[in-house]
């Protein structure tokens, strides 16, 4: 079993609230166990640029409540090449690093697995950090809970103005391939319809639904559209406008505000637990694994498995419940 003496931690891909509590946990767990720890700036780009610094417990003081990531993140094209990976490897070796914690989504894990197969003397553990909640092996990913709460807060405000003016709002939320935020936010805000990339909703069905709402004396309607819906909120609104005359129709794209903000209690605790578990996994000699939370217990999943089965499974029971509760 490889004995670890110095680890590095990085955040990569889209930022997610909860990454900072996770970094804090990684740094302090490592130091508690007598390891040295380096923070890598800007994800894989920092490995290639040798942009890293030694961290101590005070490097992560007062960051539990911060959104974003103190290490910065990046999308790094050179790391996809053999040359880029080789430079990253040489920099890690030159810094005496033999273990790596990567916090990110499926792209980050794909890179980590390729790298670890090429250079198995660096142990790698992944932490699921993405607002999309689309990774197999963890019921929740870091940032999903905070992002959903941010979306709910915004939609509640839109509902106030929609109701005052008898309006129909199409609200687009993040989720290129995953309807996880749309579904949870839709249930929490009593959306009249939720359109997800995982399910085809015919426009006729949507219009019938809106007409039924008007017949049932609804004074406003909210349709949540996940970013991955192939029609998009503006085109959908345009189509519906042709047939629905009883509502004034508006569109709101929530955009990047969904990524920001102080992490929720749930994400602070999840980040702490996953960061703690990631370092303990490295110490135990684990590599090419993802730490996740299943049934409130820490679970290790092979990165390979987490990647091949990463799709979010649409919860049909929740969709059915949402349809009934919004009549
Ligand atoms: P999010 O789910 O928030 O988008 P992500 O981790 O999936 O996060 P990506 O931009 O897809 O975000 O991936 C992050 C980084 O991982 C990329 O910028 C790149 O450096 C690296 N990466 C992705 N795919 C590969 C690959 N096939 N080989 C090597 N590196 C990769």
For ligand 1, atom 19, name the residue with the nearest CA. 76
Examine the domain organization and report whether 137 and 154 are in the same domain.
no
Q: Count CB atoms within 10 A of the CB of residue 265.
A: 9
CATH code assigned at 185: 3.40.50.460
Active site includes 132? yes
Nearest to 110 by CA among 312, 325, 288: 288
C-alpha count within 13 angstroms, C-beta hemisphere, residue 237: 21
- Which atom in ligand 1 lies closest to the alpha carbon of residue 75? 18
Q: Does 310 have pLDDT greater than 60?
A: no
231 is in which domain, residue-wise?
Answer: 147-259
Q: Does residue 72 share a domain with residue 112?
A: yes
Q: Choose the final residue of a domain: 259, 290, 318.
A: 259
Q: Is residue 92 part of a domain?
A: yes
Do the domain assignments include residue 131? Answer: yes
Nearest-atom number in ligand 1 for the CA of 134 is 2
Question: Which H or E element spans position 89?
Answer: helix 82-94
255, 294: one domain? no
Residue 224, phi then psi, degrees to nearest 5:
-95, 130
Residues 180 and 284 in one domain: no
Among 221, 243, 259, where does a domain finish?
A: 259
CA 239 to chain centre: 31
Neighbouring CB atoms inside 10 A of 114's CB total 15
On whether both 138 and 209 belong to a single domain, the answer is no
Q: What is the mean pLDDT of the chain?
A: 94
Please state, in angstroms and rounded to a whole number, the distance separating the CA atoms of residues 76 and 5.
27
Average pLDDT over residues 180-194: 94
Together in a domain, 139 and 274: yes
CATH number of the structural domain spanning residue 278: 3.40.50.450
Most confidently predicted of 31-45, 208-222, 228-242: 31-45
Pair 41, 172 in one domain: no
Percent of the chain with pLDDT over 90: 81
Phi, psi of 41 (to 5 degrees): -85, 145
Question: What local confidence, expressed as pLDDT, does residue 186 receive?
Answer: 95
In a domain, 323, yes or no: no
Kindly state whether residues 292 and 245 are assigned to the same domain. Answer: no
Residue 174 lies in a domain: yes
- pLDDT at res. 313: 65
Statement to judge: residues 62 and 114 lie in one domain: yes
* Structure confidence at residue 314 as a pLDDT band (50, 70, 90): low
User: Which residues lie below 8 Å from residue 109, measured CB to CB, with a gap of 6+?
Assistant: 102, 126, 135, 290, 303, 306, 307
Domain count, the chain: 2
Does residue 129 sit in helix, strand or coil? strand
Mutating to test ligand 1, I would choose from 41, 72, 111 the residue with most ligand atoms within 8 A of its C-beta, which is 111
Does 100 lie in the same domain as 227? no
- Token pair belonging to 321: 């419940």
Residue 39 belongs to a domain: yes
Q: What angle do CA 64, 36, 303 make, to 5 degrees?
A: 70
Catalytic one of 98, 106, 132, 267: 132
In a domain, 45, yes or no: yes
- Atom of ligand 1 lying closest to residue 104 CA: 6
Question: Which residue's entry shows tokens 């053999």?
Answer: 82
Q: In what order do the strands lie in the sheet with 99-104?
A: 52-54, 36-40, 6-11, 99-104, 123-128, 289-294, 297-302
Residue 316, in any domain of the structure: no
Confidence of residue 176 (pLDDT cuts 50, 70, 90): confident
Q: Which pLDDT belongs to residue 320?
A: 86
43 backbone dihedrals φ, ψ, rounded to 5°: 60, -140
131 and 35 co-located in one domain: yes
pTM for the whole thing? Answer: 0.95
Q: Whose CA is nearest to atom 24 of ligand 1?
A: 107
Do both 84 and 44 map to the same domain? yes
Contact 88, 114 (CB under 8 A): no
């Amino acid at each position: 079993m490889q004995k670890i003496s110095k680890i590095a931690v990085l955040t990569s891909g889209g930022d997610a609230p909860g990454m900072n509590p996770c970094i804090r946990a990684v740094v302090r767990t490592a130091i508690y166990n007598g390891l040295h720890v380096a923070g890598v700036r800007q994800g894989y780009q920092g490995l290639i640029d040798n942009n890293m610094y030694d961290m101590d417990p005070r490097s992560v003081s007062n960051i539990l409540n911060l959104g974003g990531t103190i290490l910065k993140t990046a999308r790094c094209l050179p790391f996809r090449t053999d040359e880029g990976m080789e430079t990253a490897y040489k920099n890690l070796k030159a810094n005496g690093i033999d273990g790596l914690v990567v916090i990110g989504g499926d792209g980050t894990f794909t890179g980590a697995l390729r790298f670890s197969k090429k250079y198995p003397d660096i142990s790698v553990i992944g932490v699921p950090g993405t607002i999309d909640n689309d990774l197999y092996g963890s019921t929740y990913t870091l940032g999903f809970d905070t992002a959903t709460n941010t979306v709910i807060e915004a939609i509640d405000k839109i509902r106030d103005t929609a109701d005052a003016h008898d309006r129909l709002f199409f609200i687009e939320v993040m989720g290129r391939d995953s309807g996880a935020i749309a579904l949870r936010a839709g249930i929490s805000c009593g959306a009249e319809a939720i359109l997800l990339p995982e399910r085809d909703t015919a426009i006729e069905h949507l219009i019938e639904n809106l007409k039924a709402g008007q017949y049932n004396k609804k004074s406003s309607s909210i349709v949540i559209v996940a970013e991955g819906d192939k029609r998009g909120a503006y085109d959908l609104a345009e189509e519906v406008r042709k047939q629905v005359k009883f509502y004034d129709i508006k569109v709101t794209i929530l955009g990047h505000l969904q990524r920001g903000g102080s992490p929720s209690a749930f994400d602070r605790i999840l980040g702490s637990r996953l960061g703690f578990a990631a370092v303990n996994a490295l110490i135990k000699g684990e590599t090419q694994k993802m730490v996740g939370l299943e049934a409130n217990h820490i679970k290790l999943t092979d990165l390979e498995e987490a990647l091949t089965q990463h799709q979010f499974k649409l919860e049909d029971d929740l969709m059915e419940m949402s349809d009934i509760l919004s009549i």
